Amino acid sequence: MLSGAWRAGVWRLLALVAAAIAIGAWFGQPAAAALIVVGAWTALMLHRLYRLCRTLDSRTLLRPASGRDLWSRIGQNLAQRQRASRRTRRRLIEQLRSFRDAAAALPDGVVALDAERRIVWFNAAARDLLGLDPRHDGGAEITHLLRAPRVVQWFAEGAEAPLTDVASPADDHVRLSLRSIPYADARSLLVARDISQLQRLEQVRRDFVANVSHELRTPLTVVHGYLDMIEPESLPEYEPILRELRLQSRRMTQIVEDLLTLSRLEAQQSTPDERVIMAALLESLRREGVALSQGRHQIVLERVGDRDLAGSTKDLHSAFSNLLSNAVRYTPDGGRIVLRWECDESGGRMTVSDTGPGIPAQHLPRLTERFYRVSTSRSRESGGTGLGLSIVKHVLMLHQAHLEIHSEVGVGSRFVCVFGPERLLPAALPQAS
C-alpha cells in the first residue's frame, strides 16, 4: 500500500516536470520551467511535513520533540511513540495478569463462558466446587459437564435468576448456589458459591423453632385446659384476670400452631398432587367467612371459570382461609369482602379483596415476613399472630404459585394467589347422588 502511494507520487512529479518542460520549450525556457515546478513541489512537501510534525508534537504523550529539523523531530516522535506503546502493552499485560490472579484467588468458583456457553477460563475454586479439569475441560460446553437436569433446564431457560441448593458434581455434600452474569457479546460468567454452611445454619434454625414450638404445645394445652375448667362466675373478683389469661393462652397456642405449620411447610419439598375441588373449597371458605364475620360484613363469592387445582387441599384451604380471616379481621363493620376464583389459559387466580383500611405502600414488600405487622396493636387486638401471610407465601411456593398484594389506603386491599396453567385441572364432574 505504502509503496503504491510512493510510486504514484513519483509518477505524478515526473508527469508535472515533463509537462513543465514541454510548456517551457514552447517559450524557449524548458530548464527554468522544470526548476519552477520542482521548487513548488518541494515547498508543498515541506508544508505538509511541517503540518505532520505539528500533529505529532501535539499528540505526543510525553514531551514534544526538541530536534531542530523536521526529519529529526519526526524521528524522535516516532521513537517516543514506539516506546510508549511498548510500555502500554506491558502495563496492559500486567493488569490482565493481576485481574486473572485476583479472579483465581476468589473463594467463589468463576467460569467464563462464550456465547455458546463453552468454557473459556475458570479459577481454582471452580475446579474444586464444580469438579472441572483444567487439562480437558477448556472449550467444553458447560452443560456437558454440569449435567444435573435442574442445571441443564436452568441454562435452557436463560439462567436469569440464581439457582440455589444444587449438589456439587465434585461432592454431594457440598451445596451450591449458581449465578450467571451476562457481559459483552452474549458471553457470561458463571459464579458458583458454596452455601453448605449457610444451609446447615438455616436447618439448625428451623429445627430449633420446630422443637421449641413442639415442646411448648403440651404445657400450653394443659394451661389452657385448666383455665377452661375454671368458671369465672365462681370467682367474680378474678373474672377480668381469668378472661385475659384465657385470651393470652389462646393466642400463644395459635402462635405455636402457626409456627409448627410453617416448620412443616419449610421442611416439605413438594405437595401431594391431589385434586382440589374448587367449588367445594370456595363454598366452605364462604361459610367460614360468614361465621367469622357474624353478620358484620357482606361476603360475596364470584366464580369465573370452573377449573380445579392440582395440589394439597389442606394447605390451600389454610392459605385462602388466612387471607379471608385477615379480610374479616381488618375490615370495619359494614364492609364488603369478595372471594373470586377465575381461570383461563394463562392460569388460575384466587383473589380475596376487601373494603378495609388498606396498607401503606412502604409495608407491602415486607408483609409476608414472619411477625411483620403494619400495626402490632391492631393485629394483636384482632387475634393475629403475624404469621398468616408467611404461611400463605410458603403454601403458594410449594405450588409454584405466588402472592400479589394490591392495596390502597382508605379504599381496601386485594390479595391474589396466582397459579400457573400446569396446576389447572378440568373441573370434576358432580357426584351422582
3 state SS of 114: coil
38 grid coordinates: 520542482
243 is written with which cell numbers?
Answer: 378472661
Number of residues that bind ligand ADP (CB under 6 A): 22
**In Å, what is the CA distance from 388 to each residue of 269, 367, 370?**
20, 10, 8
Amino acid at 188: S
CB atoms within 10 A of CB 293: 20
Among 375, 397, 416, 425, binds ligand ADP (CB under 6 A): 375
How many CA atoms within 13 Å lie on the side-chain side of 141?
9
Q: Does 374 bind ligand ADP (CB under 6 A)?
A: yes
| Least distance in angstroms from the C-beta of 296 to ligand ADP | 14
Place of cell 376464583: 341
Report the nearest approach of ligand ADP to the CB of residue 422 (Å): 28
By C-beta, is 249 or 385 nearer to ligand ADP?
A: 385
| Candidates 105-113, 189-197, 240-248, 374-382; binding stretch for ligand ADP (CB under 6 A) | 374-382
Identify which of residues 196 and 368 has a Cβ nearer to ligand ADP in the complex.
368
**Roughly how many angstroms between the first and final C-alpha of the chain, as a whole number?**
97
User: Between 312 and 331, how does the x/- string for binding to ligand ADP read (CB under 6 A)?
Assistant: ----------x---xx--x-
Instruction: For residue 414, give the nearest of 321, 351, 329 by alpha carbon.
Output: 351
Instruction: Give the three-state DSSP class for 378.
Output: helix
Q: Is 30 helix (H, G, I), strand (E, B) or coil?
A: helix
> Least CB distance from residue 387 to ligand ADP, whole Å?
6
Q: Whole-number minimum distance, CB 337 to ligand ADP, in Å? A: 9
Residue 295: CB minimum distance to ligand ADP, A = 19
d(Cα 267, Cα 211) in Å, to the nearest integer? Answer: 13
Instruction: Confirm or reject binding of residue 388 to ligand ADP (CB under 6 A).
Output: yes
Q: Which stretch binds ligand ADP (CB under 6 A): 128-136, 196-204, 301-309, 349-357?
A: 349-357
Residues 6+ apart with CB under 8 A from 155: 117, 142, 143, 180
- Residue 356 in contact with ligand ADP, rule: CB under 6 A: yes
Region near ligand ADP per CB under 6 A, out of 194-202, 236-244, 259-267, 366-374: 366-374
Question: Binding of ligand ADP at residue 289 (CB under 6 A)?
Answer: no
Applying CB under 6 A, the residues found at the interface with ligand ADP are: 322, 326-327, 330, 354, 356-357, 359, 367, 372-375, 379, 384-390, 413
